[in-house]
Structure 1
Amino acid sequence: MTLTMQPYQYMKINEIVYNLVHQYQAVNDLSTVAALQELAAEEIHETIPGNYPEIDQLLTNIMDRRLRHRATEKMVRELKPFVVPFVEPNKKQIAQVFRKTKKLTLPDLTVVDWRDYTFFAWNDIATQRKYILYYEDEQLLGLVGDVSSPVVKGYCAICHHEENVSMFLALNKRRGDGRYTKKGNYICVDSLQCNRNLHERNFFDKFVTTIKKQ
């Protein structure tokens, strides 16, 4: 089988390797190091089930306790060609998703590495809104919401990491009476960093469900 992985799996492997190398610099006891290596190997196999030469080679390489972050960053980057990118939408598709937005301001999509994204989002500073694109059953969908001006250090509802976050408030139409309600939660201001921190797809799916729940 040919190795493929989703962006969030790649990001998780990167964190596992980073944490292991960090422990190499902090721990001297050989039995503890061996236990940490075994745990890292288990976590990588859980992230990417199956037998792949590329994963086996990575595991062999990271068992060297002399490793430092610069070397391991290169090792992990060698896996990036196997990442299945977020399917790049064109401007017409994005406009259709956010068709209720009269003046939609888009970021420069030509500089985006789509392999970094489980979801794609950007901030419109002028309107203080955040736009979120994602796929569900291969269908391109979106969320739009107001973002609060105060940026605070806090827990992101998407990636489950502590980052600079702001309140994202999405407008939802209630069933029956036709009125609108705002559903919100704190999420990362920097959506690329949020994707780098996102290691489980279901974290994002739960966020979407919470926002859309009536």
Structure 2
Amino acid sequence: MSQPFIRNHQYNLIKKQAGLLRHACSTASDPEVVKAVKYSAEAAIMEAFPDASEAQRVTLGKLDAFTTTAEFQQYLHSLEAELAPFGPIKEQQIKKLFPKQKKLKVPDLATFDFRRITYLGWQDIASNRLYLVYPLDGKWVGVEGKLVPTNKKGYCFLCNRNTELAMFTVVTRKRPANASPDYYKAIGNYVCVDSETCNHNITDLSALEKFIRDIIG
């Protein structure tokens, strides 16, 4: 039996491209326009899977055969069986990533659909903090910072979708040589207020991984 090979952000990208193609099929009167959108969608999807096997490429390459909403929905539903889950990771592992937080409240991991997670994120409302867990270069990394809702919509730097935002500010762990004892540097970005929404929209890992590298040095 083949192993699931589609990660959450890749599935979101496929879903996005399928949506663009479905829209073109239902609205464009020029067949050449639909053809161009199909080519662009296929190219974007294949680019997201540079190491895909021939069998996996066949699974991914069925998009050009569909024209109706029902066909696109069935295609996306069929790909859910190929979703590779986030993790596995246990509560004790997560707590070790935040050694300074002796009373860290880890959410109930049983409530998450780990197939639809790119990063594990949760808020501690009492302290206005956001916690992120992500496997960077095969190693679990934990990032925590202050979360301040903006009460307005804008583009999240992680998923690049227009949504309800909060300012996420994190103090970096790296220090310049000969830095004074009270030195610190904070990095702030606008993120989705709801990490679940962000996970269901993120299509690229670049911003997330750069942010984490800038934090940990």
Under a length normalisation based on structure 1, what TM-score does the superposition of the two structures give?
0.87
Q: Please tell me whether the aligned partners of residues 149 and 165 of structure 2 are also in contact (alpha carbons under 8 angstroms).
A: no
Is there any run of 5+ residues in structure 1 with no aligned partner, and where?
Answer: none
After TM superposition, the structure 1 stretch with the greater mean CA deviation from structure 2, 79-88 or 204-213, is 204-213
Name the counterpart of 1:143: 143
Where does 1:116-131 land on structure 2 (aligned, <5 Å)? 116-131=116-131
Q: Please tell me whether the aligned partners of residues 151 and 165 of structure 1 are also in contact (alpha carbons under 8 angstroms).
A: yes
Q: Please tell me whether the aligned partners of residues 157 and 189 of structure 2 are also in contact (alpha carbons under 8 angstroms).
A: yes
Where does 1:57-68 land on structure 2 (aligned, <5 Å)? 59-60=61-62, 62-65=64-67, 67-68=68-69
Q: Please tell me whether the aligned partners of residues 66 and 72 of structure 2 are also in contact (alpha carbons under 8 angstroms).
A: no
Name the counterpart of 2:207: 203
RMSD: 2.3
Name the counterpart of 2:170: 170
Name the counterpart of 1:134: 134
Name the counterpart of 2:87: 87
Question: Residue 138 of structure 1: CA displacement?
Answer: 2.1
Change (3 A) 1:61 1:38: closer
- Residue identity matched to 1:41: E
Which residue of the other structure, out of 169, 182, 185, is the alignment partner of 2:186?
A: 182
Question: Residue 20 of structure 1: CA displacement?
Answer: 0.8
Q: Does 1:111 align with 2:118?
A: no
Change (3 A) 1:125 1:71: farther
- Residue identity matched to 1:45: M
SS state of the match for residue 4, structure 1? Answer: coil
Name the counterpart of 1:24: 25
- Residue identity matched to 1:77: H
Q: Percent same amino acid among aligned pairs?
A: 29
Question: Residue 55 of structure 1: CA displacement?
Answer: 4.7
Name the counterpart of 1:42: 43
**Counterpart-to-counterpart distance in 1, 2:35 and 2:53:** 22
**Counterpart-to-counterpart distance in 2, 1:24 and 1:192:** 30
**Counterpart-to-counterpart distance in 2, 1:182 and 1:44:** 35
Q: Please tell me whether the aligned partners of residues 17 and 62 of structure 1 are also in contact (alpha carbons under 8 angstroms).
A: no
- Residue identity matched to 1:37: K
**Counterpart-to-counterpart distance in 2, 1:57 and 1:99:** 43
Q: Please tell me whether the aligned partners of residues 17 and 40 of structure 1 are also in contact (alpha carbons under 8 angstroms).
A: yes
SS state of the match for residue 150, structure 2? Answer: coil
Q: Please tell me whether the aligned partners of residues 135 and 141 of structure 2 are also in contact (alpha carbons under 8 angstroms).
A: yes
* Cα offsets for 1:159-188 (capped at 9, x unmatched): 222221110011235442232332211111
SS state of the match for residue 19, structure 1? Answer: helix
Question: Residue 81 of structure 1: CA displacement?
Answer: 2.4
**Counterpart-to-counterpart distance in 2, 1:19 and 1:211:** 35
SS state of the match for residue 84, structure 2? Answer: coil
- Residue identity matched to 2:11: Y
Question: Residue 48 of structure 1: CA displacement?
Answer: 2.5
